[in-house]
C-alpha cells in the first residue's frame, strides 16, 4: 500500500456514520431509572444525625481554638520584638584599616536602606531582624578593628 491509497482510504473515513441503534431511548430509560433510585433514598437514623451534629460542633470549636491560638501567637511575636531605634542615632563609623573600610561602607549603606524601609513598615519583624543583624555585623567589624590594632 502506498501513500496515495492510504490518503484515499482516509478521505473515505470522513463520511458521516449513523449509529446502529437509537441512543436516546437508552439514555432516557437510564435517567428515568436513576430518578426512581433518588426518590427511594434511605433516611438517616436520629442517632447518626446526633453524632453528625456533635462532630460538626467539635470541628467548629477546634477551628475557633486554632484561630485564637494563631492570633495570640502573632500578638506575642509583635509585642516581643525589640525596638532598634537606639541604633539609629549611632555616629557613622569609619575604620582605619582599608580592608574593613569597604565592609563598613556596605554595612552602613544597608543600615540606611533598612531604616528607610522601616519608615514604610515600622511593625515588620523581618526588617527589624535584618536591622539587628546589620548592627551585629557592624559591631563585629568594630571588634575586628580593635583586635587588628
Q: How far apart are CA 129 and CA 80, in angstroms?
A: 12
List phi, psi (to 5°) of 83: -85, 140
Q: How far apart are CA 46 and CA 52, in angstroms?
A: 10
Contact 114, 131 (CB under 8 A): yes
Q: What is the pLDDT of residues 9-57, one digit of tens each?
A: 888 888 887 878 888 888 888 888 776 665 555 566 778 888 888 999 9
The answer on pLDDT for 93 being more than 50 is yes
Q: How far apart are CA 121 and CA 117, in angstroms?
A: 6
* Domain regions of the chain by residue span: 53-82, 85-148
Q: What is the pLDDT of residues 46-81, one digit of tens each?
A: 788 888 889 999 999 999 999 988 888 887 665 554
Position 31 scores a pLDDT of 84
Amino acid at each position: 500500500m502506498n501513500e496515495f491509497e492510504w490518503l484515499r482510504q482516509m478521505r473515505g473515513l470522513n463520511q458521516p456514520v449513523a449509529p446502529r441503534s437509537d441512543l436516546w431511548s437508552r439514555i432516557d430509560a437510564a435517567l428515568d431509572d436513576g430518578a426512581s433510585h433518588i426518590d427511594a433514598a434511605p433516611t438517616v437514623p436520629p442517632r447518626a444525625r446526633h453524632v453528625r451534629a456533635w462532630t460538626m460542633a467539635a470541628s467548629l470549636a477546634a477551628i475557633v481554638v486554632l484561630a485564637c491560638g494563631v492570633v495570640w501567637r502573632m500578638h506575642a511575636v509583635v509585642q516581643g520584638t525589640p525596638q532598634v531605634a537606639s541604633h539609629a542615632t549611632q555616629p557613622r563609623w569609619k575604620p582605619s584599616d582599608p580592608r574593613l573600610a569597604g565592609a563598613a561602607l556596605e554595612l552602613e549603606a544597608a543600615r540606611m536602606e533598612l531604616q528607610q524601609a522601616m519608615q514604610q513598615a515600622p511593625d515588620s519583624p523581618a526588617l527589624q531582624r535584618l536591622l539587628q543583624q546589620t548592627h551585629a555585623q557592624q559591631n563585629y567589624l568594630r571588634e575586628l578593628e580593635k583586635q587588628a590594632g
